[in-house]
Chain A
Amino acid sequence: MAFGGLKRLALRNKKILPDGVFMKCEGCGAMIVMKETEERGGVCKECNHHFRINARRRIELTLDPGSFQEFFADLQSCDPLKFSGKKPYADRLKDSQSRSGLPEAAVTGLGKIEERELAFGVTDFFFMGGSMGSVVGEKLTRLCELALERRLPCAVVCGSGGGARMDEGMYSLMQMAKTSAAIARLREASLPYIVVLTNSSYGGTMASWASLGDVILAEPRAMLGFTGPRVIKETLKVDLPPGFQEAEFMLRHGLIDMIVPRGKLRETLSRLLVYLTPARAGK
């Protein structure tokens, strides 16, 4: 999708001009040119606000052009619990698929950054909040196993604000265990595993693979944590401090390594991979 998720955001915004040329920045409120913002990788030129972008756009911005080779694309979710809230899970899956153009919330495969090969995965917030059911868990586990088999570094970009997907019940929760066990194997083999946290990442994904990076990067002002701010507020009946759970808060509390603006992500990953070389590990 050429718009990388921006179009939908723009359309959702009621103050958008009808021709879709301008959009209102969620960060500063300024009217900004959509096409230009898109070219900047979904970053507002006025305030540096990082809009959410979809998995395809993330891959374009991060990997060497044309280097991404998708793996495990034919995995699809089914509805093992016959789960139904307001709308049956099976229908919600179909809707998400047609709206996002993706079969599931995770895209995984092999790619290159500055000619250096790596296993690369992205979870897409626009597919059910990037939440993790069986397929997301299985794809990320297979990605780790692929990295292990080929002795490659592994990097994953997390946009999983939805945590573990409740529509698949305990199958979803067990994906936390499965992915974490696969990462343990990468670690024992001294292969680097790098996580990039984006807005927003919460819940069961953060309590598993998204927090296990040897190096953890985050985009500016991304909302990150275990329990969402609304639930904390309602449970404890307290006001939360300004900036609570933003990437800068995470950095200050020692929970992530660095904050990397989107425009610098590719370069940062490339530099990290020069240091964290699998071949040199353990020597």
Chain B
Amino acid sequence: MALQQSGNASYLPFESELQEHDRKIHELEELSRANKMDFSEELRVLRERRGDIVRRTYANLSPWERIQVSRHERRPQARDYLDMIFTDFMELSGDRMFADDMAIVTGLARLGDERVMFVGQHKGRNVRERHLTNAGSPHPEGYRKAMLKMRLAERFGLPVVCLIDTKGAFPGTGAEERGQAAAIAENLRDMSVLRVPVVAAVIGEGGSGGALGIGIGDRLLMMEYAYYSVISPEGCAAILWKSAANAPEAAAALKLTAGDLSEMKIIDEVVKEPAGGAHQDTKAAAEMLKAALLRNLAEIKDQPIDRLLEERYARLRRHGVWLEGAQAGMGAAAGGAGK
């Protein structure tokens, strides 16, 4: 993604007006400092107008532009939310079989008054972190580590909170040798019957099976500018149009935004973000996410577990749209959920 650098901020291609405006503010601040002149009134007006520009720019983003926001290099990641939302975090490492996959962070933490097991995909905020996490693409050992910690949570009655943010499971020879497909499949199976409440939230990128691998539970939330898709728009474009340049069209066709998926009843709730996305005000974004996680957890945590598991199955069971019986012949209304 082409990020344009200006000062210490990064701008997305559709943010040119904002970038120009920020440049003006910056220049005026410099001028004021250098000449010891008071431009506070002018600066106040400019800063007010900045808010309008942000709101206007973000009012009508295309799916492809939203994806760029979800991938913004300053967008808060799992470890940021861990710092801002959770307290008393004790990281637990390793899958006891092969390695400790840093692409998935797991550990004990407090969310408000709740003791929970935290499971989060972390892409990495700098080159060093991204090297350690493979930019947030987990290997089989990452999925197995997550499941091992969830099983621990099950034994001690701790609810599980999963934060999803990955381009996808790692596509490599080692990952294949160690059973990438099986590792994800086993998580889907075992999370569907895990005997503690599970709340999952897509905080950035929901890259296909790699995201789903820690995404089965009683509630699925999605932040406003996150996406969740069966295939990356680039991958989809490469198949359909033989060119990743058609990714914007693919992004629109795949119906992968929080709004689309809410309408399709794939997700339960869209978590609002501050104007202009979580990266504009990470603290506010964290508060919004925290409130949504706590509210959803409160709804399910005291339910008898057998009833919760029945509901979990019913929630997974209803996904899909098809024609059946007489409908199929007539091509009439669709069966299943979502329509």
Q: A residues engaging B (CB < 8 A)? A: 74-78, 80-81, 83-86, 103, 133-135, 137-138, 141, 164-166, 168-178, 180-185, 187-188, 203-204, 206-212, 225-227, 231-232, 235-236, 238, 240-241, 244-245, 249, 253-255
Contacts and interface: CB of A to CB of B under 8 A. Distances in A.
Contacts of A212: 182, 185-186, 189
Contacts of A141: 317
Contacts of B231: 164, 166
A176 B188 contact: yes
A232 B176 CA distance: 10
Contacts of A168: 230, 320-321
6 contacts: A75-B324, A80-B321, A134-B319, A174-B316, A175-B319, A211-B179
B12 to A, nearest CB: 24
Contacts of B334: 78, 80
Interface stretch (B41-49, B248-256, B281-289): B248-256
Contacts of B322: 75-78, 134-135, 138
Interface in B148-188: 169, 171-173, 175-182, 184-186, 188
Contacts of A206: 181, 185
A138 B336 contact: yes
B338 A171 contact: yes
B323 A184 contact: no
Given A138-B336, A176-B212, A181-B317, A81 B181 contact: no
Interface in B296-339: 312-313, 316-317, 319-325, 328, 331, 334, 336, 338-339
B255 A81 contact: yes
Given A181-B193, A208-B188, A235-B172, 14 more contacts: A74-B325, A75-B328, A85-B253, A141-B317, A170-B255, A177-B212, A177-B215, A180-B185, A182-B317, A183-B189, A207-B181, A226-B209, A244-B173, A255-B182
A225 B182 CA distance: 9
Contacts of A177: 188, 192, 212, 215-216, 316, 319
B313 A181 contact: yes
A103 B319 CA distance: 20
Given A75-B323, A178-B317, A181-B316, A187 B209 contact: no
A74 B324 contact: yes
A109 to B, nearest CB: 16
Contacts of B182: 211-212, 255
B27 interface: no
Interface string B18-60: 0000000000000000000000000000000000000000000
Given A181-B317, A232-B171, A164 B230 contact: yes
Given A138-B320, A180-B185, A207-B181, A185 B313 contact: yes
A260 B291 CA distance: 54
A98 to B, nearest CB: 15
Interface stretch (B3-11, B73-81, B112-120, B234-242): B234-242
Interface in B60-97: none
Nearest to B192: A181
Contacts of B185: 176, 180, 206-212
Contacts of B177: 249, 253
Contacts of A178: 316-317, 319-320
A166 B212 contact: no
Would you call the interface of chain A mostly helix, strand, loop, or mixed?
A: helix
Contact of B230 (A138, A173, A185, A208): A173
Contacts of B184: 207-208, 226
Contacts of B193: 181, 184-185, 188
B189 A187 contact: yes
Contacts of A183: 189
A168 to B, nearest CB: 8
A81 B181 CA distance: 27
Given A169-B230, A171-B319, A180 B188 contact: yes
Contacts of A171: 264, 266, 319-321, 338
A139 to B, nearest CB: 9
A173 B186 contact: no
Contacts of A175: 319-320
B216 to A, nearest CB: 5
A80 B323 CA distance: 11
B280 interface: no
A169 B319 contact: no
Contacts of B181: 206-207, 210-211, 225-226
A135 B186 CA distance: 22
A227 B235 CA distance: 12
A74 B334 CA distance: 13
A130 to B, nearest CB: 15
Given A134-B322, A177-B316, A178-B316, A236 B171 contact: yes
A80 B339 CA distance: 8
A164 B208 contact: yes
Given A178-B320, A225-B176, A134 B336 contact: yes
B192 A78 contact: no
B212 A85 contact: no
Nearest to A84: B253
A1 B240 CA distance: 30
Nearest to B236: A166
A184 B178 CA distance: 22
A178 B212 CA distance: 12
B176 A180 contact: no
Contacts of B175: 226-227
A184 B192 contact: yes
Contact of B321 (A103, A134, A209, A253): A134
A170 B228 CA distance: 8
